[in-house]
Structure 1
Amino acid sequence: MSPKTQRRGLLQQGFLLYLGGTLLLSLQFLLQLLGSTTTELMDALGYTFYLASCLSHAACLMLSTYLIASLLIALRPGRYALWIQTLLTGLMSILCQLDAQVYAIYRFHINGFILNMVFGPGAGEVFNFDTALYLREGMLLLAIGLLSLGIYLLTSWLWRRHGRAYWGWGLGLILGATLLAHLMHIYGAFVSRPSIVRSAKLLPYYFPTTSYSLMLRLGFHSPSDLEALQRGGSGLVNYPRRPLVKEQPKQLPNILIILLDSWNKRALTPETMPATYAFAQRSQWYTDHKSASNGTRSGVYGLFFGLSCYYWEEFEASHVQPLLISRLSELGYDMRAYPSATLENPNFASVLFKQIPGLRTSTPGASSLERDRRLTEDYLSELPQRQASGRPLFSFLFFDLPHSFELPKELNQRFSPAWDFADYTRLSKDSDPTPMWNLYRNTCYQDDLLLGRIFASLQSSGALENTIVILTGDHGQEFNESGCNYWGHNSNFADPQLGVPFICHFPGQASGRIAYR
């Protein structure tokens, strides 16, 4: 067989493999829709659009695998190129499966933020997964890899039996689906048809065509008056908008800010968090407080700046600090942070606490429980020496255990039945939230033991009489309260993800529950 004939045969087999990989990925995209709440919005037009989009977008993503194989075949003909294409097909399918799981939880696709959380500083402190979950994911990804191998074997058999690549049928189907999907999206986006607009968001990095001006020129009229909103301004940070009005207080109180990551306000009960509940009863308890957002970065940023996290990049580049931190620095406060998860990812160390000398950005410990215990010990052990210095104190404590869903089995017994770990792959809109909710309550109870030690220490030493205590969460944590298959946070702006307890102890101020914001 001449090299030219060999190359032609390999290219045809590679094209068959490309078509098979496209069909596999299309099926994955279709299953993603069927497992989501978007099905409630779908109609015949929406399903037609989504099926065409699945095929065209899968073909687009898989095209890179065929192009790489074609390049290898052109350089050095051999079946190794088809094996590499099979490997790349499996990897592409696995990446899309992982993206689908991320989207099911957070309602956005894998991006730089997620990659930084996984591979950035302190990644092991941000995500904690049980070994059983790793094994289950491994089995799922292995199954996808075996399907890719099966596609290779099937397309090889088809080539040996028929000796055809089906170029015309394959290209015609892909190009037709692509044209149909983009034309339908032009219409769907113009009239804001939910079945088209919402289903398109399920596909990773899919940017179907929109053309409002073309539709208007053709005489169509949108049912809603859509106007593009453009952000004005020079891009320079003007914060604060007016100079801070300053007064020199006669006495400088100590300030203690305590944050619990992912704090669902339903957990603040005498059964789940008895020490914290008792402290809230003796303080000003804001029962309708909302976090600045549904994620850690935005929630903490909003707490300190009173602004949307939209401005994060501008503030980080301009080195603008929160007014609270700047003013406390001017007043000579001894400022310290005690974080469980790292302050470098998100980069709170730079955006919020750059003015704090010798800032502590992390806490030793192999788990969130160990780190929460360690930061409590460190805060309490350092407190007498700090008080003896005569300087006013600012302390920031950030607990992480409720966010991690990670507990030793012997500490996961108080509320049962409880999962051993948060298995998000088992969740759906019909799942019973009780086992996961009880696991969460058990983590809150363990942190409550630590908070109780802090409250008791402040009370017994008399420090509470001169300490402003602010206790809240960076954001909430949803357990499908809406019945729409929302779990965790960072996926919607309903009360379970935004509403958090907000407890303020002001020395000399009356306690009570406050129901307004």
Structure 2
Amino acid sequence: MVDSGNTYGDKVSKLITWGHWFSFFNIIAAMLIGTRYISQSPWPETLLGQTYLVLNWIGHFGFLVFGFYILVLFPLTFVTPSQRLMRVLSVTIATAGMTLLLLDTYAYQNLHLHITPLVWDMLLNNDKSNLNTQWQYLFILVPVIFLLQLSLSEWVWNKLRKLAHKHVGRPFAILFSVAFIGSHLIHTWADASAYGPVTAQRATFPLSYPMTARSFLEKHGFIDREALTKQIQEEGAGGAQEAMRYPLEPIKFKSKQTGYNLQIIMIDSLRADTLNHTDTPNLTRFAQNNVNYNNHYSASNNPTSLFGLFYGLPGNYVDNFRNSNIESPILAELHNRNYTFGLFSGDDFNSSLYKQIIFTKDEIGEPKEKMSDSKAISQWNDWFKAQTPDKPWFSYLELTSVSEYDATSPISTENSDQSAFEVNYRKAVKKTDQQLKAVLNALKQSPDWEKTIVVITSNHGMEFDETNTNSWGSSTNFSQYQLRVPMLIHWPEVEPELIMTRSSHLDLTPTLMESFLKTTTPSESYSSGLNLFTQDNDRNWLLAGDRKNIALITNTNTVVIDTFGNYKVYDENYNRLTDEKPKLSLLMQGISELKRFYHPKK
């Protein structure tokens, strides 16, 4: 009985009314705590994006708290014998929920991730990092939150009669319902339209699973799948752009004197193990006479690696740079020093990254004929002969025949002959190596050879299901077959050397910036890589990945982490280690690197 002699029905009715008001004030508290997510996220630049953010903020926390009340506290109302016990249980549960929400905002602020088993381990493990210590201090607030919840519970119970006459329950219920339904309808449209300012907010709040209906709309003819896919490829998957803090400090140079010429040769999809006397005799000879980084990893298993090569940053920054007009620090300085640019590609720079981020449309120009590697090399040769010693130049030559070896024989996952496809691939490699011979000879015979830096590498590797995971080509996993590529550098006055320590595409930017352009600004201000010429020893980990996943590659394993903080651990041969846990201190370093150049818009 409640108080003195009330019936069971009266007791339950009063507890239900109390529970509604107790939940309402906790919704307000959750919304106030939730403003921390908004402050640590980019403010949408469009009115619709801002409208969605407000509606999602109101509707999500209203649904989250009230839904928890309906699923947990409401059933307890009918079985708990005492109103005091019911209120204590409610206060305890509310304290736990608010504490968890507060801790989640801290995780989001520092790691840009919500609480998952991985994040929980990172913040409660025995590695006494500064982040770990600050996180544990937050538990001091638990008694404070409990006392506040206890006070709220008592106040609502004593003011229940007055609150019942306020007649504000229905308007607020309508507000929360409209906000919840409206936010999901807006996201459904935004997802079907690839409207970035809305879809980029899908992971802002915890336990957020906004509604989508792309398959349903596509099935009934409301959207064009091919057009939508093309739009996403051209505009990026992220949409709304976080404010960039790039570079972290102004980039300065020791001098502005013109120095070496720079030639970069990119061979699409060239695996590291093709560098041998059988498949690539010309490249192998070049490697023996110059600096050969024999344990080199691409920045990604897809064309995102090009961004890593020119910017020295992991692929999660791609969409933010796509429309930011932030030029590669290397190319920006070459432009400042009035270098002549010569850009050539066997597929006319088919990757959207070239025209939207790395180069400009004016630099690339419009295609006048269908391109091929032989035509690109011919055009490069004509351009190269026209260069004069008094004007420094930069040239980029992309060869794509290797990646197109199977264009007329698509792989069948049911009846595939691995060796046959690999044979065709290596035939394409040999042909490209023969074509490249003319380019290397032209460079060596030039009077400018000893003042020309030559970099030869690949964007990513190519797999023939060596991992036994039905993986073919690229973009399917982060194994060595898809990530390890050649990195050969001719640098004037640098002796030939075979370097076995691990290196990354992210290292090329600081190498060129420091050793070629003579910057005095520390590399960590504009890059995630290290100078290839000044690395003392093998680092603990390398960073690779794309827009959705990151891969931390260590000496013994590879850890793949998705955008929600879930992880998988693989051994050197990319076999899944289900019982293996990654070293949390290294994971924190890797995840921190992914947000180092972001800052919230004010």
Q: Which one has a larger percent helix, Structure 1 or Structure 2?
A: 1
Could you tell me the TM-score, scaled by structure 1's length?
A: 0.50
Could you tell me the TM-score, scaled by structure 2's length?
A: 0.43
Over alpha carbons, which structure has the higher Rg?
Answer: 2
